[in-house]
Structure 1
Amino acid sequence: MTSDATNPPILRRAITLPLLTLYGLGVTVGAGIYVLIGATVADAGAYAWVAFLLAAFVVGFTAFSYAELTTRYPVSAGEAAYIEAGFGTPRFAMIVGLFVALSGMVSASAIAVGAAGYLGALTGTAAFPTTIGIVIAMGLLAWWGISESVTAAAIVTIIEILGLLFVILWGLAVADQGGVTVDALIPPLQGDHWAGIVAASLLAFFAFIGFEDMVNVAEEVENPRRNMPLAIVITLVIATILYVATCIAVLMAVPIDSLAGAEAPLSLVFAGGPDVVKASFAAVAVVATMNGVLIQMIMSSRVLYGMADRGRLPAMFKQVSRRTQTPGVATACVTLIILGLSLFLPIDELAAWTSQIVLGVFVCVNLALIALKWRGQAGEDAFGVPMIVPILGVLTSVGLFVATALAANFNVP
């Protein structure tokens, strides 16, 4: 038997702390604020920025739970490994892992629709063929190689962050203030508007989905026990600041009636600006949203790979290309599913589905950490958090899920 046969190709540790942080920021920043601010404004109006803060609060506890778990188990298909370690039930772990992969694919589909909207506004191309082209192109890039695809994602992430800073500057200092005043941004302590804020927080929560993507590339991260917790915390802090500042700038610059439900919301900030400014920002928005598609593809394919590597899925999903050292079959499968979802479901429905799936996963992951801590199982050289952190992670995730369900039942506009 040849050495190639006895030593099948494996994933390569090529992701540094800066690349990992930019990877996390790429999916959070590109996925959320570039696409969903219009949908959150439709629910919460001038208080949409509060929905982003509420979502960050909910995400924060679970982010720290992930930071501990990923240092205990720095592997692909992280959530499945956490559930199996916490509850000792491989079947339940497999179900959770599949839901994680599904959340990434549904999320990528939502982002692809947003990317097609921005590209259509820039070039006049129809949404259907544009969406197909974006998904296929990102699938090929994800297959190309982890260092190549993550480096490309990091470069684009820097561009998209600069784009958001430009939106903030233009919206606050240059654009005609056609939106709300500063006083109108502050919600009263009581009133029906809080139902809208809570409903919007489920969509805003979608904007913070990213750190669970990061843990699923842990097998390809250098020194994961040090770099994973650092990257998760840095990503959450930077994303929250950017989201709140951008949301406020857009609300002050654009009338709420125009902003609510817009498919390319941030481009409205430049509606009265020079054509070169509008075209330049549209180009940045296109690459930013495509970056989100790429990163979610990488995550979903690694979940399928990790589960197959542990015998939870068919062996074909763990096949790694000798040329690219990426899971080719898993990447192809993920690309096809994303393509189908993005062509036939609306963006707000895709985002809501993603948020609901991930909230359920968050509850399970926090419970797994509680079980490990309850049994006194300490991770070797692992980053640690107090027991209260996963407990609050469960309570806040369940609370957000229940609150948004109740708000939906009351038909919040």
Structure 2
Amino acid sequence: MDEELKAGGAPKYAQQLSRSLTFKENVLITLSAVTPASSVFIIVPSVVQGVGGASAIAFAVAALAGVFMAFCYAELSSRYPVTGGEYAFAARTLGRPTGFAMFVLALVGGIGILAVVALGTGDYLGVVWGSLHGKGVGVAVVLIATVVALFNIRTNAWVTGVFLFLELAALVVLAVLGFLHVDQPVSTLWTAQTLGNSGVLEGASWGLVAAATTTAMFAYNGYGTAVYFSEETREAGATIGRAILWSLGVTVAVEMIPLIAVLLGTPSMGALIGADSPMNYFLLARGNSTLNTVVSLGIALAVINAVIAMMLQMGRLLYSSARDGSWPDAIGRPLAAVHPRLKTPIPATLVIGVVSALAAWLVPFSTLLLATGANLLVLYAVVALSALVGRLTGRTAGASYRMPLGLTGPIVILAVMAYVAWEATTTDWAPMVVTLAVFASGYVYYYAYLHARRDERWTLPEPADEEADATGRPVHPDNSPNNVPTV
């Protein structure tokens, strides 16, 4: 296609986006997509309510699992630093049909999650201004984020960086309050407790801790977002793996430290576990209502920041699919357009913004949750399988980052995802069925439209050339042909 170049005999993407991000700026945007403050105030409380002080164990084990997942992302991303993200991995290791199925899953799930996150903004802004609640706030957040995402990528890196600083300040408040008022013994951190029917603390099983670990693992999610900005990051082939690992490391630290502080600093473990909002209970108990209001504003800003980062990510996902020839030209060519000055995929970003706003406004919240409930589970499983197959077949042999411990990482993740899938489907099978139906629809589209045109569409070129280093050698020198499985 006309957006591809040939070099060394292998087709490559042309450099259309602005390769202007530094390693640190990539990490800033990635951490904004993770939104650790939102995880601490929204996901952590459900774990605390389930297993009490053993939440620390659950999050520590989840961090270990996250490291194995990050290893998979890092190797795949350094071999394929392509803005399409997970679908680019899957297509090049598992075959084009599976790659397109992954794209559909990422697109539908991403829009749904974006709408869900935006709708949560009103819960925290309402604490500051009572009139700011309801769907209108969520839609407004989506539209504002869309406008911000249209600016060049470096501007967005610094906008999200400022917001990230503010949300981290909210977590610092939690940590300081907790460590200044330690009332609970250190043994609390490995004591699994929950509230019984009589409202008295009782022991919780380690099976519940294992289940809480899977929830905690998803609280760290988002570090893989770094690859979506790889075509805008300098020396991406050499640094994108480190960006992913650093993003996970920072996320684990800024989520676990406040959690441990709250567990040790709460005046009453029973009251913390039994509170409707454990973090707000803690802020009121150790601080005051003014502090609770200020921190709630910080969490609202964190949610807005996450929506901006996700808008950047999803706009690039749709742009990448159009560049790969996923759609008829009447649709695909406009979506593959990049603004000549801003170097931003404006049409694709606008489409994501409009569709996400409509989803937030028109789709019932329960339906959005149903559509996204098992999305991450399947996505993680396919990424792990891509890393496994890529290593076994040699398709990731050119990666500048290699997973430590060989195949251990993807095998561990596949085992964990199998366990989570079993637990999830026995509790509620509907989200998994919806997710698999969305995934399957990608195969249907591929064979209905793309398969017959596979010689000119979805040819999956090599990553775009990067700058030469100080010695004049390419940063990502692997120019070997794709060896992409075709089906």
What's the TM-score, normalizing by structure 2?
0.73
Are the aligned partners of 2:377 and 2:421 in contact in 1 as well (CA < 8 Å)?
yes
How far residue 397 of structure 1 moved from its aligned partner, in angstroms, is 2.5
Instruction: Tell whether the 8 Å contact from 1:198 to 1:403 is kept in structure 2 after alignment.
Output: no
Give the aligned partner of residue 135 of structure 1.
Answer: 142
Cα distance, 1:379–1:40 mapped onto 2, change above 3 Å? same
Q: Does 1:103 align with 2:109?
A: yes
2:191 aligns to what?
A: 187
Shift in Å at residue 71 of structure 1? 1.0
Q: Is the 8 A contact 1:55 1:202 kept in 2?
A: yes
Is 2:157 the partner of 1:150? yes
Which one of 296, 318, 322 corresponds to residue 310 of structure 2? 296
1:358 paired residue number: 376
5 Å-filtered alignment, 1:153-232, equals 153-174=160-181, 182-187=186-191, 193-232=205-244
Q: CA deviation at 1:66?
A: 0.9
Corresponding position of 2:197: none
Does structure 2 conserve the Cα–Cα contact (< 8 Å) formed by 1:196 and 1:407?
A: no
Q: Which stretches in structure 2 are left out of the alignment for 5+ residues?
A: 1-13, 194-202, 430-487
Mean CA deviation greater in 282-291 or 323-332 = 323-332
Paired position in structure 1 for 2:423: 403
Q: Which has the higher contact order (CA 8 A, sep 6+)?
A: 1
**Residues 275-321 of structure 1: per-residue CA shift (max 9 Å, x gap):** 54333322222211211111111111111111111112441322223
Q: What SS does the aligned partner of 1:391 have?
A: helix
SS of alignment partner, residue 127 of structure 1: coil
Q: Is the 8 A contact 2:150 2:344 kept in 1?
A: yes
Equivalent in the alignment of 1:268: 281
Q: Identify the residue that residue 370 of structure 1 maps to in structure 2.
A: 388
Q: 328-337 or 146-155: which moved more?
A: 328-337
1:341 deviates by 4.2
**Greater CA drift, 309-318 or 101-110:** 101-110
Q: Which moved more, 1:202-211 or 1:65-74?
A: 202-211
Percent identity of paired positions between Structure 1 and Structure 2:
21
Distance 1:341 1:206 in 2: 23
Task: Check conservation: 1:206, 1:355, Cα contact below 8 A.
Answer: no
Structure 1 residues without counterparts, runs of 5 or longer: 1-7
Helix, strand or coil for the counterpart of 2:313? helix
In the TM superposition, 1:275-294 aligns within 5 A as: 275-294=289-308
Which residue number in structure 2 is paired with residue 3 of structure 1? none
**Aligned CA distance change for structure 1 residues 62 and 234 (closer, same or farther; 3 Å):** same
Alignment RMSD: 3.0
- Counterpart of 1:388, as a letter, is T
Alpha-carbon distance in 2 for matches of 1:103, 1:257: 36
Structure number having the greater helix percentage: 1
- How much does 1:199 deviate? 3.6
Q: Distance in 1 between matches of 2:37 and 2:20?
A: 23
C-alpha change, 1:46 and 1:342, in structure 2 (3 Å) is farther
1:121 aligns with 2:127: yes
For 2:88 and 2:188, the matched residues in 1 are separated by 46
| Number of the residue aligned with 1:32 | 39
Larger mean CA deviation between 45-54 and 155-164 belongs to 45-54
1:384–1:185 distance in 2 versus 1, CA, 3 Å = closer
Deviations 1:24-54 (A, max 9, x none): 2222214422332233334334433333233
Provide closer, same or farther for how the CA distance between residues 372 and 350 of structure 1 changes in structure 2, counting only shifts above 3 A.
same
1:277–1:133 Cα change, 3 Å: same
Pairwise CA distance, 1:215: 1.1
User: Are 1:39 and 1:261, in contact at CA under 8 Å, matched by a contact in 2?
Assistant: no
Equivalent residue letter for 2:22? T
Q: What is the rounded CA distance, in whole Å, between the counterparts of 2:56 and 2:425 in structure 1?
A: 20
Structure 1 position 234 matched with structure 2 position 234: no
CA–CA distance in 1 between the matches of 2:89 and 2:288? Answer: 51
Cα distance between partner residues in 2 of 1:278 and 1:33? 14
Residue matched to 2:478? none
CA displacement 1:123-161 (0-9 Å, x = unmatched): 112422222222211111112222111211112212222
CA contact 1:32–1:204 (8 Å) conserved in 2: no
Q: 2:119, 2:137 within 8 Å by CA — same for their partners in 1?
A: no
Q: Which AA in structure 1 matches 2:31? A: L
Deviates most, 400-409 or 129-138: 400-409
Contact kept? 1:167, 1:249, Cα under 8 Å: yes
Structure 1 position 246, deviation (Å)? 1.7
Structure 1 31/278 Cα, relative in aligned 2: closer, same or farther at 3 Å?
closer
The AA in structure 2 aligned to 1:143 is L
1:81 to 82, 88, 109: 88
Answer yes or no: is 1:318 the counterpart of 2:345: no
For the Cα contact (< 8 Å) 1:301–1:334, is it kept in 2? yes
Matched positions, count? 396
Q: What SS does structure 1 have at the residue aligned with 2:401? A: coil
Post-superposition shift, 1:227? 1.9
Which letter maps to 1:301?
A: G
Partner of 2:353: 335
Amino acid at match of 2:383: V
Rate the CA distance shift 1:334–1:257 in 2: closer, same or farther, 3 A. farther
Distance 1:12 1:63 in 2: 26
In structure 2, C-alpha distance between the alignment counterparts of 1:195 and 1:362, rounded to whole Å: 22
- SS at 1:248's partner residue? helix
Distance 1:71 1:233 in 2: 12
The farther-off stretch of 121-130 and 297-306 is: 121-130
Q: Paired residue for 2:50?
A: 43
Q: CA deviation at 1:104?
A: 2.7
Partner secondary structure for residue 119 of structure 2: helix
Shift of 1:404: 4.0
- Alpha-carbon separation, structure 1, partners of 2:158 and 2:319: 21
Aligned-partner residue type, residue 391 of structure 1? I
In the other structure, the counterpart of 1:393 is 413
Displacement of 1:261 after TM fit?
7.9
Contact in 2 for aligned 1:30/1:160 (Cα 8 Å): yes
Output the amino acid matched with 1:41. V
